[in-house]
Structures are given as C-alpha cells and as structure tokens.
C-alpha cells in the first residue's frame, strides 16, 4: 500500500472502464476491451477537482477504484500526478464482467467496500466522484458513499472551490433555464461533478516513466453496507444553499490579443504554431462531418489547395 500521508485527505473515487465498448447489434452484448480503458469526462473532472482542492488545503489525494487490472494504466497516470492509488480487485485481467455482474449492480455494497478499503488511510475530508459513470450511469454511488461515511453530500456539481476554511467547500449546481446556485458544503462531504469545465492535468514525462515501473496496490473486496459506517454525532452537517440568489453565469470575455497584424493576432488566439497538431477529438460526427474535418486538415497542411465542394464549401472556406 502507498504511504499514508499527513494533511487532509481528498479521495477521488472513480470508475475506470472501457470508454469505447462494442455492442453486438443482435444480442446487445457489451464487449469491453482492456486497452481502451480510461476515465470518462466526469471521472476525469473528479480527479482534477481532487488535486485542486488537496493543493489548496496542503493535503493529499487518494485515488480509489474497483476494477480489474486493466485499470492499472490509468492509476499509474494518477500516481504520476502525485496521488496515492488503490485498486479494489474485481474481475479477471481482461474483463470487468465480475464488476458488472456483482459489485456494480449493488452500489450500496460497493460503497461499503470502498469505505472499508479507505479505512487504513484515515477519514477523508472530501470524496469527489464523477456524477455518472459511462457504463452504469445511475449516479447513486456517491449518495451511498456519503451515507456510509456519515458525510454531507452535494451531487451533480458544475464546480467546486475551496474557502479559507478547510471544513467547507463552495459548490455550484445547475438549475433550470441556465441558472445556477451556490452551495456551502461542510466537510466531511461527498461531491459528484459533471464532466465539464475543467481539464485533467497531465503528468510530466519523468513522473510518467517513473510511475510505469511501479506496482499498483490492490485490496480484495471486503466489507459491505454498514460495516464501516462513519459515526458523526447528530448525523452529517447540512449543506447550505447560498448565500446569494441563483445567478446566470456571465459570458466569458476573452481579451483580444495585442498587435496590428490580424494574422499574428489569430495565431496568438489559436495557439497555432505553438505545437504540432495536438490530439483532437472531432467526434462523434457523421461521415460527412468527418470528411469535412479531414479535408480541412489536408488543406491546412498543403495537400489540397482547392476548397471542398458542395454545401459545406461556404463554411469550409471561412476556416
């Protein structure tokens, strides 16, 4: 097991699974591949918020997941970012069927196991989860975790920020009609976040290479609902809505770059020429959209000097 470190503990409780499972069209069977295992956007956001909050509190991050060994690559990345990592072993090396069949189908039992596995690290100040996993997606686990830990809960958040007290975080939650409200969430708490607004930091190459050479600690699933239930005299403290009324976020103003040369301003705005084409996700899009993206790429790189034809020419030409 990784070192038990001093300072407040922020736990990122994440689901690591195949992000591109194949579905057999006739039987509906889901086929998962170990190598395309990764973090869904909400889980990636949960991890990033955990780091931000732990930094603000001078604390440390523990990343926990229940998954087969195919999750280790993602856990190594988290370790390269400085987290303590732990995997509750489920399933065979190449499949997480056991998770789906047993653990994942009973989120309450899962919450009990996670809390049991975390017990040796001490009591978490904050647990951050994604608001839904890409495969099961009920979003119920954080609530069960809060129950097991006897902690406050605020779910489906857009953002979490720290306050000057370590016993409180401020969260933002969406309301109908584009409105949002602020919540004051007392710690210990369990929060779940949307997969938007933040981007997971990347580890340095040196740390990535070093983390690759390490083993990921794993524990076997133990415990169950109620076995490790946190005791909090009088129950968890209450989440407070406000202060302030619901608000609509303002449009973000991006300051115009300096200079008279439009080309240079455009370069400054887009970051072009700063690096070669970074990995870009353009999908999911339809075949015509994909062809457009490709033709635009070819034009950009000088393979084609003509504009694409058809209806799209008008929009393409403006790029």
Residues that bind another protein (CB under 8 A): 24-26, 33, 35-36, 38, 73, 202-209, 212, 275-276, 278-279, 286-288, 290-291, 294, 298, 301-306, 308-310
Nearest distance, CB of residue 210 and another protein, angstroms: 9
Residue among 46, 16, 12 at smallest CA distance from 34: 16
State which residue, 164 or 305, has the beta carbon closest to another protein.
305
Nearest distance, CB of residue 170 and another protein, angstroms: 29
State which residue, 241 or 285, has the beta carbon closest to another protein.
285
Nearest distance, CB of residue 298 and another protein, angstroms: 7
Nearest distance, CB of residue 206 and another protein, angstroms: 4
State which residue, 70 or 192, has the beta carbon closest to another protein.
70
Q: Which string of b and e fits 193-229 if b means at least 16 CB within 10 Å?
A: bbbeebebeebeeebeeebeeeebebbebebbbeebe
Nearest distance, CB of residue 197 and another protein, angstroms: 21
Nearest distance, CB of residue 98 and another protein, angstroms: 22
Nearest distance, CB of residue 44 and another protein, angstroms: 12
Distances (CA, A) of 48 to 20, 55, 263: 22, 11, 34
Nearest distance, CB of residue 275 and another protein, angstroms: 5
State which residue, 74 or 157, has the beta carbon closest to another protein.
74
State which residue, 215 or 258, has the beta carbon closest to another protein.
215
State which residue, 133 or 192, has the beta carbon closest to another protein.
133
State which residue, 77 or 148, has the beta carbon closest to another protein.
77
CB 14 within 8 A of CB 47: yes
State which residue, 30 or 175, has the beta carbon closest to another protein.
30
């Amino acid at each position: 097991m990784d070192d038990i470190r001093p300072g407040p503990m922020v736990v990122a409780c994440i689901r690591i699974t195949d992000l591109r499972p194949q579905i057999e069209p006739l039987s509906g069977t889901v086929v998962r591949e170990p190598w395309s295992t990764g973090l869904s956007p909400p889980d990636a956001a949960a991890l990033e918020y955990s780091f931000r909050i732990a930094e603000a509190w001078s604390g440390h991050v523990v990343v926990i997941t229940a998954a087969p060994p195919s999750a280790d690559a993602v856990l190594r990345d988290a370790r390269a970012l400085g987290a303590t990592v732990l995997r509750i072993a489920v399933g065979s090396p190449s499949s997480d069927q056991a998770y789906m069949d047993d653990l994942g189908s009973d989120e309450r039992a899962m919450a009990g196991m996670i809390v049991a596995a975390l017990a040796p690290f001490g009591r978490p100040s904050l647990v951050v989860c994604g608001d839904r996993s890409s495969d099961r997606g009920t979003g119920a686990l954080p609530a069960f975790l809060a129950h097991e830990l006897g902690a406050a809960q605020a779910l489906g958040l857009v953002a979490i920020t720290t306050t000057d007290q370590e016993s409180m975080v401020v969260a933002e939650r969406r309301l109908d009609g584009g409105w949002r409200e602020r919540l004051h969430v007392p710690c210990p708490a369990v929060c779940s976040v949307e997969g938007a607004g933040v981007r997971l930091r990347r580890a340095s190459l040196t740390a990535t290479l070093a983390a690759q050479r390490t083993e990921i600690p794993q524990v076997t699933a133990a415990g169950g609902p109620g076995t490790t239930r946190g005791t909090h005299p009088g129950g968890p403290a209450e989440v407070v809505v406000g202060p302030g009324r619901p608000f609509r976020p303002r449009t973000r103003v991006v300051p115009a770059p300096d200079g008279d040369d439009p080309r240079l301003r455009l370069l400054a705005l887009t970051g072009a020429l700063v690096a070669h084409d970074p990995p870009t996700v353009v999908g999911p899009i339809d075949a015509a959209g994909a062809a457009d993206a490709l033709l635009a790429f070819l034009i950009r790189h000088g393979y084609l000097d003509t504009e694409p034809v058809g209806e799209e020419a008008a929009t393409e030409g403006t790029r």
